[in-house]
Amino acid sequence: MIGVNLVGAFLGAKHAARVMIPMKRGGGGGSVLFTASACTAIGGLGSHCYAMTKYGIVGLARNLASELGRHGVRVNCVSPSGVVTTGVGGGGRVKSEAEVAEVEAFFSEVGNLKGRNLTVDDVARAALFLASDEARYVSGVNLLVDGGFSTVNPSMLNAMQIG
């Protein structure tokens, strides 16, 4: 996991920067965008190894933003919470559409934005924003795409509700 999530991110950024740095001379620059995770904002959302690699990506992004900014290169992270899809799940098992619907119903209820689920399109839109000229002065950011999940702890509110 460390090799793919962290070393892979580092090597990708290294080679992208080698292309982007010379582009500044022509008025260019560039944008490096990493995928981290909402587990970088709230504990307990992933395994220790997964969380460690995603925190590492955020740290790498911030350091690179500092280093590459003088070359006109922006560096950011998009950090989604869980996107539920069919495909390979835990233990290499394929998740059925029924299992996906069950998990979506759960997240729809416990999430901060009731009745909604995070989709791959939501994550793509956030990534497109960070990579676009609309975000030309945004660098070193870890954009959480979690519907406010990381900012709200409903435990106290739930405990205070009567009947």
Compute the distance between CA of residue 86 and CA of residue 104 in angstroms, rounded to an integer: 11
Sorting pLDDT into bands at 50, 70 and 90, what band is 101? confident
- 54 catalytically annotated: yes
Q: Which of 31, 54, 79, 139 is catalytic?
A: 54
Walk me through the domains of the chain, giving residue ranges and CATH numbers: 2-83+118-149 (3.40.50.720)
Residue 148's region, left for phi above 0, alpha for psi from -120 to 50, else beta, is left
**From the candidates 14, 24, 47, 50, which is the catalytic residue?**
50
Identity of the amino acid at 62: R
**pLDDT range class, residue 155, cuts 50, 70, 90:** low
The catalytic position among 37, 79, 81, 139 is 37
What pLDDT is stored for residue 4 in this prediction? 92
Q: What are 104-130's pLDDT values in tens digits?
A: 888 887 778 888 889 999 999 999 999
Structure tokens at 35: 């995928």
For residue 54, pLDDT over 90 is answered with yes
